[in-house]
Amino acid sequence: MDETAVAETPEVAAPSGDDWNPVERVILERRSVRKYKDRQVPENVVRRILEAGRFSPSAGNSQPWKFVVIRDREMIDEMERHVVRWCRLFRFFLDWRSSPLGRLVPWLMAQVSIRVKRNQLHPIPFGAICLIAEGKLKAFHGAPTVILILEDRRGVSRPQVDVGVCGQNMVLAAHSMGLGTCWVGFVELLKYGLKWRRKFGVEFPYRFCEAICLGYPYGRPDGMIEREVMEVDWYEDGAKRSVCQGGKDVTA
Amino acid sequence: MSLLSWRERLTIPTYDNEEYATTGRLFIDHELCNGCGVCAQICPGKAIEIRGEGREKKAYLEEVFPQCMSCNDCAAICERDAVTAAVAYDFGYYFKKLNRGEFRKPVPY
Ligand SMILES: Cc1cc2nc3c(=O)[nH]c(=O)nc-3n(C[C@H](O)[C@H](O)[C@H](O)COP(=O)(O)O)c2cc1C
Ligand code: SF4
Ligand code: SF4
């Protein structure tokens, strides 16, 4: 093909040590927001955020998601209560530190369960289940708008990855407009019992996956923070290097 | 060399064993902290306690196995830059953290 005939993508300069560009800034300053103002997000803003989701990349362009927008205070509170009830149930059977069943039985059940559900019962969500059960932590953080992302199980390859990509697109769009968001993995608990599956019409091919809560943040939660540096393997010029991302490289 | 030994792969740690599990740890500058409590309200692990009265009201990391996930959301919201998570959580064995180092801000390479 004649190469001179195609339009070129202009290169954007990214000199070392330069200030972050606006997109990088939104990505790096985004923090999960867990306290919101009561004020509702305008409808057009939510629609713009959903557009960011609609144009997300997905395997085979399968777009394996369905959005459900909930802006009804009563309904969000009811979902919250459902999650709390199920967390209490899990804590009753699995938390050997507090269960009225004594120490041994819940401990054994926990040992079995965490081997079956290693990711869901990782110490962090396990701790969160207990905190939600005790009423100390909220699942939806009192946000005025919640966007459920249902996964279409017929998607190409790994639809859950597509849901993640799509959700993060919406999250970043929201933060670029001064909104706050938080991912809510605990929305998965709505699959237990018939009530919410009926209400949201969650049957094959759909299933609960993740949700994003959305609202105007209390205070100023966004900002750059410190994170662990990480080791990156780097292959170039026929050699392998180990790169310390975020820190000083040690040449071995 | 493998990343996890067979023993580590097969041992699922219990959540509150201080012998091998490290929680996130905070550095709180009590000179700067005024005990406003915003960090405690937004902390996803409810790992921050506000103790004391009047001018002595300050933030503290919970003493008994705080569920700090070293997310630094407290650092981001604190208007006085009084708090940072400086140690990452690591539950050991099956959940041992791999290829991570100390805490750093984003670097504009
Ligand atoms: C898929 C997913 C699910 C999450 N679920 C929850 C949740 O249920 N509750 C919560 O408070 N935070 C949840 N989070 C937010 C994480 O805790 C948060 O992203 C992490 O601590 C890093 O902090 P940052 O988002 O402020 O950078 C979730 C994040 C992701 C990506
Ligand atoms: S650490 Fe910061 S946010 Fe937390 S109580 Fe002290 S001043 Fe307030
Ligand atoms: S780093 Fe995160 S989990 Fe730890 S105390 Fe701060 S807000 Fe809480």
pLDDT in tens, B32-43: 999 999 999 999
The pLDDT value recorded for residue A161 is: 98
Which residue, by CA, sits nearest to atom 2 of ligand 3? B71
The domain total for chain A is 1
Q: Which pLDDT belongs to residue A10?
A: 84
Would A72 be classed as within a structural domain?
yes
Give dist(CA A205, CA A189) in Å, integer: 18
Interface of A with B (CB under 8 A): 16-20, 28, 31-35, 97, 107, 110-111, 114-115, 118, 122-124, 126-128, 131, 136-137, 218-231, 244, 246-247
Distances in Å between the Cα of B77 and the Cα atoms of A119, A138, B38 are: 29, 18, 7
pLDDT of residue A2: 60
Residues in a beta bridge with B84: B27
DSSP state of A184: E
ipTM: 0.93
- Considering the domain boundaries, does residue A81 fall inside one? yes
Ligand 3 pocket test, candidate residues B60, B73, B103, most atoms within 8 A of CB? B73
Q: Which two tokens stand for residue A19?
A: 């200030």
Ligand 3 in reach of B70 Cβ (< 6 A): yes
Determine the pLDDT at residue B17: 78
In whole angstroms, give the CA distance from residue B42 to residue B61: 14
pTM for this predicted structure: 0.94
Calculate how close chain B gets to A62, using CA atoms only, in Å.
33
Nearest-CA residue of chain A relative to B65?
A127
CA separation for the pair B85, B72 (Å, rounded):
6
d(CA A97, CA A117): 20
Could you tell me if residue A50 is inside a domain? yes
> What number of other Cβ atoms are within 10 A of residue A246's Cβ?
20
In a domain, A235, yes or no: no
Q: What is the pLDDT of residue A42?
A: 98
Within chain A, which residues score under 70 in pLDDT? 1-4, 249-252
The separation between the first and the last C-alpha atoms of chain B, rounded to the nearest angstrom, is: 31
Question: Is residue A221, in this structure, part of any structural domain at all?
Answer: no
Spatial CA neighbour of A90 closest among A80, A79, A99, A78? A99
Contact assessment for residue A252 and residue A240, using Cβ atoms and an 8 Å cutoff: no
CB A212 within 8 A of CB A167: yes
Provide the token pair at A122. 């990782």
Distance CA(B54)–CA(B38), nearest Å, equals: 16
**Range of A152's domain?**
23-215
Give the β-pairing of B25-28 and A145-152.
Answer: unpaired
Residue A18 in domain: no
- Residue A111 burial (CB count, 10 A): 13
CATH of the domain at A43: 3.40.109.10
Question: What does the pLDDT look like over A131-168, one tens digit per residue?
Answer: 999 999 999 999 999 999 999 999 999 999 999 999 99
Residue A166 resides in a domain? yes
Which single residue is written with the structure tokens 């569920």? B67
A12 located within any domain: no
| Domains identified in chain B and CATH numbers | 33-92 (3.30.70.20)
Of A127, A226, A230, the CB nearest to B100: A230
Hey, what are B97's tokens?
């953290």
User: What is the SS3 string spanning chain B?
Assistant: CCCCCHHHHHCCCCCCCCCCCECCEEEECCCCCCCCCHHHHHCCCCCEEEECCHHHCEEEECCCCCCCCCCCHHHHHCCCCCEEEEECCECCHHHCCCCEEEEECCCCC
Structure-token pair, residue A221 = 């939660």
Q: What pLDDT does residue B69 have?
A: 95
